[in-house]
Amino acid sequence: MKLRDAPSACPSLWRWLPCPPAELRLDLVLSSGQSFRWWESSPGAWTGVLGGRVWTLRQDGDRLWYTVYGEEEEHREERDECPAKAAKLSAAETDGILRDYFQLDVGLSPLYHAWGAADPLFRKVANDFPGVRVLRQDPVECLFSFICTSNNHISRITAMIERLCQAFGRCLCCLDSRPFHAFPSLSALTGPPPPRSAPVIVPWPRLHPLSASAVPLPGADAEARLRALGFGYRAKFVSGSARAIAEGLGSEGLCQLRTVPYAEARRVLCALPGVGAKVADCVCLLSLDKAEAVPVDTHVWHIARQRYGVALGGKSLTPRAYQEIGDFFRGLWGPRAGWAQAVLFCADLRKGQKPASSQHQA
C-alpha cells in the first residue's frame, strides 16, 4: 500500500472533522513527547498507529483530515501482507476514535483563557503555542512507553518503542514498504516469545543501528529480548510490569483506573516495577483521565524554581518536593493543571528551535 499525503490525490479515502487550530495543533501535540508513535510522513502529514489501525492525519485550516489504511473495499488481495486485518470501521466509528483520542469535546480556548488569567507567565508563553491539548491514549501503550522514558530523551525513546513494536507487536500493514506494527499486547510482553521465522529488519532512515545488528534472540525470554533491543535496565521494568499486570488487574483493570480517583490510580501504578511518581503521573494524565496530574521531571522542577519561585528546601527532587510542586501548579491552574503544564512543556521543548513556520526551510 502507498502512503497518502493529502486528500487531493484520492478524496474518497479521506474524511474530516471540524477543528480550528486554536483547539488543536497536530504538529505540536504529536511531536512533544506525549506519544512516541507518530511520524511526519510528509510536511504536515502525520502517520501513526491508533486503535490497532494505521492513520494519516493532516490539518488544513479549520479541518482535521484523516485517512485510515486497510479500510478500502478493493485491494483485498493485499490481505496476505496484512494478516491482522480487522473488520471495517464505519465513518462514525473512525470519527469517534479521533474525537476520543484528541478529546475534542474538551474546549481548549476557554481553558487557555482561564490559565492565562490566573498566570501571566502562562499567558506570555501560550500566545506562541496554541492548540496544545492532552491526548487520551491507550493505558497499556502509555504505561510501557513511559517506563522507557527514564533517564532518556525523545529521539532515543522513539527508536526504542519502534523496536519494541517491531519485535513484539503484530504487523498491521506496509506503507511504501515500511511496516507498521501495533503496540504489543500484554501477553506478547509476558509470555514466551512467539516463534518468528525471521527478524524484521526495516530499511528506513533514522533507525537505530541496534535494530539491524542486535535482533531479538530466538528462544530468549522477554527481558533478554528487550535487552538485546537496547532497553538496558528498563528491560527488567517492562517485562516485570507486564507480568505484574497480567497476573493482577489485567489490561481491563488498568483501563478501569480511569474510573477511580487520581490518588488511587497513582498508588496502583507506583506499585509496578519501573514506575515512580513521575511515570505514574504521565500515565494518569495521558491515558487515565486524571487532568489534575502534573508530572514533575527535572525540567519542570527547574521551571518551578526559576520562573515561579517555588521555594523548596533540598537540592534534589525529593518525594516531598515533588508533591509540593504538583500542589503549587494545581493551586495556580486549577483542576486541569496537567493540561496547562503540557502547554508549557511543549513550549519549553521547542525553545531554541526554529518557529514552526520555518521548519522546513534549508
Contact residues for DNA (CB under 7 A)? 32-34, 149-156, 208-210, 227, 230, 232-234, 236-237, 270, 272-280, 282, 295, 297-299, 313-316, 318, 320, 345, 349
Nearest in space to 36 (alpha carbons), one of 48, 53, 25 = 48
- Residue 350 Cβ vs DNA, minimum distance, rounded to whole Å: 10
Using CA atoms, how far apart are residues 37 and 30, in angstroms rounded to an integer? 8
Q: Which is nearer to DNA, 38 or 237 (CB)?
A: 237
- Residue 33 Cβ vs DNA, minimum distance, rounded to whole Å: 2
Using CA atoms, how far apart are residues 65 and 29, in angstroms rounded to an integer? 15
Q: Catalytic residues, which ones? A: 278
Q: Which is nearer to DNA, 61 or 209 (CB)?
A: 209
Label residue 168 exposed, middle or buried (CB < 10 Å: 0-12, 13-18, 19+): buried
Residue 183's contacts (CB-CB under 8 Å, 6 or more residues apart) are 37, 49, 138, 140, 141, 144, 164, 165, 169
- Residue 301 Cβ vs DNA, minimum distance, rounded to whole Å: 8
Q: Which is nearer to DNA, 45 or 134 (CB)?
A: 134
Q: Take residue 190 and report the three cell numbers written for it.
A: 509476558
Using CA atoms, how far apart are residues 143 and 241, in angstroms rounded to an integer? 9
Q: Take residue 49 and report the three cell numbers written for it.
A: 498507529
- Residue 27 Cβ vs DNA, minimum distance, rounded to whole Å: 14
- Residue 93 Cβ vs DNA, minimum distance, rounded to whole Å: 30
Q: Which is nearer to DNA, 111 or 284 (CB)?
A: 284
DSSP 8-state assignment for residue 217: P
- Cell 465513518 belongs to 91
Nearest in space to 148 (alpha carbons), one of 291, 37, 40 = 37
DSSP 8-state assignment for residue 41: E
At 173 the three-state DSSP class reads strand
- Sheet with strand 38-42: strands edge to edge: 15-18, 63-68, 53-60, 45-50, 38-42
- Residue 76 Cβ vs DNA, minimum distance, rounded to whole Å: 40
Q: Which is nearer to DNA, 54 or 269 (CB)?
A: 269
Q: Which is nearer to DNA, 218 or 233 (CB)?
A: 233
